[in-house]
Amino acid sequence: DAGKDFSDKLSQSGFPVLLDLPNNESWKEKIDWNDILREKKSDFQFKLETVKETFGNPPVRQNSQCLEL
């Protein structure tokens, strides 16, 4: 609520404010951007581990380019 109050005060002062708030699901009391980022990071790490298990961990193909003068 403090962040919303702050943005409301800025808006009332004449500063243009564009809010980008996380979606608040009705069953959650409050949701924070940090919580969303933690969830997404956790989801990404799970997907990455799944891909590694499925395909293994192949070596990275390196291309070298050189300019001959």
Asked if residue 60 belongs to a domain, the reply is: no
**DSSP state string for 10-39:** HHHTT------PPP--TT-S---HHHHHHH
Asked if residue 69 belongs to a domain, the reply is: no
Whether pLDDT at 24 is above 70? no
Domains held by the chain: number: 1
Whether pLDDT at 55 is above 80? yes
Asked if residue 66 belongs to a domain, the reply is: no
pTM over 0.75: no
**Mean pLDDT for the chain overall:** 79
